Copies of this chain bind each other. A is one copy, B any other.
Amino acid sequence: MTTTAISTYHALTEAEAIALAAGLFPAGTDLECQEIGDGNLNYVYRVSDRASGKGVIIKQALPYAKVVGESWPLTLKRAAIEAAALRKHGEYATDLVPEVYGTDEELAYTIMEDLSHLTIAREGLIQGKEYPKLSNDIGEYLAQTLFHTSDFALHPFEKKRLAAEFSNPELCKITEDLIFTDPFFDYETNDFEPELRQTVEAIWHNDRLKLEAAKLKRSFLTEAEALLHGDLHTGSIFADDNETKVIDPEFAFYGPIGFDVGLFIANLIAQGITRNGDGRGTIVGHIENTWQVFETRFTELWENEGIEDFKKVPGYRESVLDKVFKDTLGFAGCELIRRTIGLAHVKDLDGIEDAAVRIESKKQALRIGETLILKRSELTSIQDVTALLKEL
């Protein structure tokens, strides 16, 4: 399934990167180039003005993924999906995604706004940062991007055109396997400490939990509600105290709205587990505020910009948001479980140095994950969710 473009595809040289970026600077600017990616999935070139330091980013997809030491082929088409998603989401959340200056499908690169003055939110949160604007901005981002790409805002021809354009089978398959399937079975992609084996085996034998996971997987496979980011964890967000930018939407596709909301909230929960006292309170506040801002803005957009004939029918908006809320909890639960025992972990939990605390924290993550999946019909407010974190 890798694209034919691989035959002409090659990794950009630094000189090529400079040439591609040159047009974005005044003629004669003295430019330099640094490759600053981690080399697992993409090259990331920063081309900058030696004098002012001002730069742009060129992100180029690798034709394979390196995970746990192995490589497997991965479609280059994801670069085009990512660029198109940044542009589409940028129409509705202009200040919350990097600007795209150019893109090339064959060489699988995107030239975009340089965000190196910001830090990855996960890294900052692990260092104890508060990011006071984070939940306001992400709540706004979620409402704007998800509402505006849904049937509530788009003519059905445009919505279906976008759904076909953003068909993203290979990246979706990664999610289908790693979030919704593998962690619930004794499959070899799973990765966890021996001390967790008993807890993990209990998951593999918990038919009630697996039934709910199966339903959530089915929602992910079938429900084309809005153009999702598709991988909205705290590592996909650049931030500082004043700014928030959502990056890396290469998993973008038409899916259930609650998936984006749930992934973000799950990653906040994973961070909250590692904190105590006021530190945890900050995270609790972000979780509650994310949902509240999302719900409030979604409601305003529904009322002011909604095109659905049934939009004024009493209870309809509430019923839509209720579905999104329950989906959010279920997807958050799956994300917490897979980030603890699946292939791809989070540094928040893995980075806890004290082994006993780390194991106990992971058990807490698994327990909250299970509760969110199993009790998502009973938990009726975001405070019911954060109570799980406060109770630890």
Give the B-binding residues of A (Cβ under 8 A): 1, 151, 156-157, 159-161, 163-164, 167, 169-170, 172-173, 176, 181, 184-185, 207, 210-211, 213-215, 217-218, 221-225, 308-310, 313-316, 319-320
Contacts and interface: CB of A to CB of B under 8 A. Distances in A.
Contacts of A151: 218, 221-222
A223 to B, nearest CB: 5
A211 B319 contact: yes
Given A1-B157, A173-B156, A310 B221 contact: no
Nearest to A226: B222
Nearest to A314: B207
A3 to B, nearest CB: 14
A156 B320 contact: no
A319 to B, nearest CB: 7
Given A151-B221, A181-B309, A218-B151, A315 B211 contact: yes
A306 to B, nearest CB: 12
Tell me how many chains of this kind the complex includes: 2
A211 B313 contact: yes
Given A210-B313, A211-B314, A310-B217, A169 B181 contact: no
A172 B159 CA distance: 12
A167 B163 contact: yes
A156 B172 contact: yes
A interface, by DSSP: helix, strand, loop or mixed? helix
A223 B222 contact: yes
A176 B310 CA distance: 12
Given A1-B157, A217-B310, 4 more contacts: A181-B309, A214-B313, A222-B224, A222-B225
A316 B214 contact: yes
Given A151-B221, A211-B314, A156 B169 contact: yes
A314 to B, nearest CB: 5
A156 B213 contact: no
A347 to B, nearest CB: 29
A272 B1 CA distance: 51
A224 B220 CA distance: 10
A169 to B, nearest CB: 4
B156 A161 contact: no
Task: Please list the 3 inter-chain residue pairs (A to B) with the smallest Cβ-Cβ separation, ordered nearest first.
Answer: A214-B310, A160-B169, A157-B169
A207 B156 CA distance: 24
A262 to B, nearest CB: 17
A308 B184 CA distance: 13
Nearest to A151: B221
Given A161-B169, A207-B313, A319 B215 contact: yes
Contacts of A167: 160-161, 163-164
A160 B181 contact: no
A156 B221 contact: yes
Contacts of A223: 222-224
B185 A157 contact: no
Nearest to A318: B211
Central interface residue in A164, A173, A176, A310, by most chain B CB within 10 Å: A310
Contacts of A207: 313-315
Nearest to A160: B169
A173 B155 CA distance: 10
A88 to B, nearest CB: 17
Contacts of A163: 167
Nearest to A256: B222
A271 B320 CA distance: 35
Contacts of A176: 156
Contacts of A217: 310
Contact of A310 (B156, B172, B213, B222): B213
